[in-house]
Amino acid sequence: MHERIEKSPEEWRAHLTEEEFHVAREAGTERAFTGRYWDHHAKGTYECVCCGLELFASEAKFDSGTGWPSFFQPVDPENVATKVDRKLFMKRTEALCPRCDAHLGHVFPDGPKPTGMRYCMNSAALKFKPDA
């Protein structure tokens, strides 16, 4: 279990950019092929932009061809929560930060081995910490 972090919208806005706030706090989506990490290949860890929880290792990143950073598994299964998303007249699985409820993106069952999953994330919901 992760210790919950709760802040008011004003508190989140104080340390997020407008785009980060829109994506992470309002469940927005950045345009494909525009985010800072969709074509990013450095070694390190991708964290929640809101609270810094480690989400994905660079070793789990792959090119899905979608224009968003994609991963086949989180650092730890408990570090990415999911819930059903019925917006846009379809049923999808939304990925969330379990510590602060930031919207990260969506999860699809069409990824590569070994998991077969594609965690399709928004760059604006992530921050990158390079390996030392």
Which strands form 81-85's sheet, in the order they lie side by side? 61-62, 70-71, 118-121, 103-108, 92-96, 81-85
- Considering 48, 50, 97, 120, which one is annotated as catalytic? 120
Q: Which of 104, 120, 107 is nearest to 23 (CA)?
A: 104
Is 51 an active-site residue? no
- Is residue 120 within 8 Å of residue 107, measured between CB atoms? yes
Residues belonging to the active site:
120
